[in-house]
Structure 1
Amino acid sequence: MNTEFTKLSHENIFYKVDKLREELSGLESLFETEMNKLSSVMEIYNNKKDDDDCEKIKLKIGIMGQVNSGKSSFLNALIFNGENVLPKDCISKTKIITKINYSDTKRIEIEFYTKKEWKEIKNALIKEGEIKGAKFVKEVFEFINASEYDVEKYINRDNEIFNFQDYDELLEKIKECDDKYNNYRFPIKAMNIYVDDERLKNIEVLDTPGVNDSNFVRKYTIDKCFKYVDIIFFISQAAIFLDNLDVSLISNQIPVESAGNVFLVASKYDNVIIDEGWKFKSLVETDKYIKSRLTNRVRKYVLNYVSNSTPIFMSAMANNLALKKKDKYTDEENYIIKQLNDLWDGFIFNKEKLMFIGNFENVKNKISDKLDVKENLMVKLKEEVERILLDIEDKSKQKIYIIENTDIKYIHLEQEKIKLKSQKIYKGIEELIEKTKDSAVNKKKEMEKQLEFDFLTLSEIKVKKKTIRIESEESNDNIKWYEGLFKKANNEQIDYNFVDYEYVEIDEVINDINSFDSNTDIYLKKMISDIMNFNILSENIIKIIFENLDENNEKFKLNYVKKFVESSIYSIKPPSININVGEYVDIIKSKFSDETTGESIEILKLHSKAIMKKIYNEIMEKVDSELQLFMFELDKSYISIVKYILEIMNNRIESLKNESYHLERKLKYYKKIISIIEGNIMEP
């Protein structure tokens, strides 16, 4: 391993990744780039690791080809040195993907799709439908719905297990699986065959169905399974090499990204040698002709789907004949070797010639190259994971520093600033309101003085004089009548033709009463006008608020605050005094004539003063009451505005608290991440 990447010492670095992904569930955005890279690496690792040893990478060998193309013989020769470990037809003839793995318990497991996988298939199907049209999607789902079984019944189902003891029973169990699931394939992901031969350790063989169809679900599954296959051997009988079905299988089943890993194998090469050899003088000529002809078929029909244009010509039969002693040959093998030896006079197929036709060394060399890659893959994966984890660790430490030394400090300072701003606002508005109230008290005193002056002035009855002419003939009689009305000075002789007397006009008294009332209302309005100007008060309050709140920082609209303040101030109802003087006027009118004279004037004076005093007292009570109400309204507006500002401030403080909470949470996660990466959290 590159010494640059040796900081993380845990044997299983992939455990750390799993732990990180668990811890960061829902918070992947903290390390979006790094987690995406890790996901890609882990997808490769999870698809290639050995289930029995997570520190090892499995070599995944993909097998494709038609039924009876020689796939089982190929695998026996390749993996088991020609031993018939996998009997013929052990690879399912059904439309299910078959996987062959090692296990100390021989069994077949039918693997069903999980809910997540089935959802992915449906989404992919819909996406495919966008390209091919809605009719395509409709036809596929109609096929599913018309199937014998309920799809949902099989989705997320536990694997169904069929145990076997020997290879004859293996074939029986395969047939049993075929019979059970042959009519329905959609919810079945794969048939897994487990064999207790240690030569299969660290190897997984995947075989595709040997049939060609347009089944979207199966093609999707093949693409997913073969995406991480290390090497793919497409087996085609040399005698019918790359026929129409082969070409169709290659074009439909080989994933595009796997094209570089595909090797075309012309199997049963011994048969085509026997069929074509009589036309030529030697094995060399025959071999050259066949290989040239079949290679041209590759270039003509499938070069667009595979990168390797030269096929591998091999014969499992010839390979087995080369490895066996002659006395161990079966009747079939003796027949084949006789046919080969009869091709050319004097030419005998010895071990060397059989190995040449078998050509399994070439196949094993391909495998060997992939094994070298496989051995280095785990190292490369670890190095890549370690590089990403170190990036995450460095980023976490940077984030911790920023959060602790910048973000959290900023929040604390911001909270203190908001508290100070709040206090300034409350104090400033309170001072304005108190100043307005003090002004009201002072103006009330001035108004009381003015009312007292009006009371004294208007309470004085205005007595007028009047001269009247008396008729002479009735003078004596009239003198008696006027005696109570006229003043006589020093018993002077009265001029009976012209007489002077005093009187009071009741309408003037009534006017004075009404004036006292109306003047009070005028004084009150002037007093309120002097006390406060609603526009100025609103502007002053808004100014105090705006000086201490910044729209960008406080995250609220100042126009809303302005409207609220103006609404609160203008909702204050100005004091008004409505005294009902009508009853007092009615008393005067009922007791006195329009022109009151003589002794009635003194009585009128007493009544008028008493009425004015009563009105005065009532006015003063009303002024006190209205002023108290006015001050209450001021306090009410102050409280309303303060509550509104307090709500804004509290919202901002709550927002900061939430920010602080999320920062603390991030801090916790960053520290936990560092602990995981540095190995402070033990593996299970």
Structure 2
Amino acid sequence: MQFFEKTAAEQEKFQQHIQKLEQVVDQISFLSKEDTSAIRQLKESFQHKIHDFYREDRKLNIGIIGQVKAGKSSFLNTMIFNGQDVLPRASTPKTATLTKIEYADENSIEIVYYSPEEWQQIEERAKVQSELEEYRVARDILQLAQSHYIDVETYLNKGKETVTFSTETDLMRELNEYVGENGKLTALVKYVTLKINNPHIKEISIVDTPGLNDPIASRTDKTKQFMEVCDVVFFLSRASNFLDQTDMDLLTSQLPQKGVKRLVLIASRYDEGLQDTIYDFDSLEEADADTKKSLRRVAMKNINSYIEMMEKRNASQTLLNVLKECATPIFVSSMAHNMSLKTESNYSKDEQIVYNNLNEHDDLDEEMLQYIGNIAEVQQVFHEVIEQKEQTLLEKAKAFLPLAQQQLATEISNIATLQKRRLTMLIENDQESLEKQKNAIKTQIQQIQAATTSIFTDLFAKLEACKTEGTMSLRQASKDYASLNERTGVETETRSYTVSTSKWYKPWTWGSSSTEYYTVETRYYYLDVSDALENLRNFGHDAVSTVEQAFLDAVDFHQLKRRLLTTVVENFDTSSEYYEPAYFKLLTEKTIQAIEIPVVKIDISGYLTKMANSFSGEVRDASSKTEMRNKLASYISDLFDEISNQFVQEMKSFKEKMAIIDTTFTEQLLKTITDEYETVLAQFKDKEQEIHRLREGLNVLESLM
């Protein structure tokens, strides 16, 4: 292909860099594997990227990135499969499987299973009675496998297999078995490649990722491998919780540094953002304008803050340009777009709720649904990136070497800093003084633990306050939705009377008559069963939203991160050799990422069915009205009890997880620092020889810098 011929001359330079990496690894072989692992990984990563880039069938790699529940699968179903639910939604990390989509003449699914070694690791983690995400998800995976009575060993030994299909309906059925939430083999699948005969994706390879914070290590590794060769990223952030701390960590920690050439920010599930604000305005159009203005302000603030930080670190202009490009989000609602292609009678339950909420001012029509969906704008961007494939890849080729050289220089500098620290400690201290320092560190860590415990104590108090406030809101909502307003109807009755038509001067008309007609309107009052059903739906929706909002109000991620960092700075000896701001920031960010807002689900279908079976249409007589009101109040009361109990249980579980995070935060600090002290203390067994070795090593490292 002509494009690859143009860049083939670069291969010699790339090979020279690989040789340099090999030389560096060889020259620092006197160091431990732990100290040199980062540089060894650089070589593997660089070789992987070059091998991928110079394949003759190299496509444009497009990543769909975002948290679980950001709407990635729905987004792709709308973009590629005309709104059909081909790609199952991942409701939890354990079902969030990496799915790659590419063109092929024959439709098929290639499934890659966990290896026996990876499954053994999952089994070992499942034995750990901890509520940390990686252990909890391991238990969930085993439980899912056991629930389907799978012969695990058979599939693990397969490694991978390919299943063909003829229609998209067959695809939906087959794919759900491997990656669906309750799929028979979902628990055993690491990732899948979906090959479909769709000419629109001939030039591209699309990956629906589970996210870089996936607790399954092997799936995270696979995602990171893909990110190494990703060219364009569509980053989805849920409009109702736009660019929260986890989103910003995901957006800024991995994507641009990996060589992504274009980053498109999507405010996904935009209909939810509108539903949050529509009651504050007199029209849907006004709510739309204000919501977009607010979300654009959030994007501009968060992205610009990150750009300023990267400028201070002398980041490349290429990286800054990629970031600036995503400061203006595209607003997308896959649901609204799909609704615009249907009649209201064909809406699903979820779509009907969205329609009712967005149609608060009776101004929602097909045109407005298409406008809210805004799929055309994203499709245009898709077409643009495909048309610009050659230029994008050419720019990426030019950036390979500078980026790789910068990464190598950074890692060598990090290793040299570590060696200098160890040399200084050996020269300036004896074993006794180092033991004292190690004990002093433990004291400082204990002080930090006391302070962080105070932070989490405040969080627990806030959670209790939000629980009380949330319960009060639920109780008030239950009262509001338990009442029904009567509607007024009008019945028109036609009546008649007889009129004489005889005339005295016309004898032949004597005794004749005619009938005259007139109408009488009678007002009556009734209850509409559709109002009762809507009250049940709206209470269920509002109750879940109230619970989730209670958690969000209690856990201010930005403030929690800032307080934890401030606590470390105030309680740790910042003049110490072991005070590393970047490390403490990373550890704090990982702590925040481990916090997952509980998801509360409630099934109201049973209540809706019972109400619909008991009444229909207009209810007029007094006894039926009373019965209908009583049943609605009873159902709302039962729903209130159900959601309140879930609320209490989720709050209890959430607090337990926070208590674990409170403990492990300082434990990780202590372990990392004391491990380093133990390394240096071990070197005292042959102090002079170790000093000599470290000095020689530093000379080698400085010659490489």
TM-score scaled to structure 1, two decimals? 0.38
TM-score scaled to structure 2, two decimals? 0.37
Which protein shows a greater Rg? 1
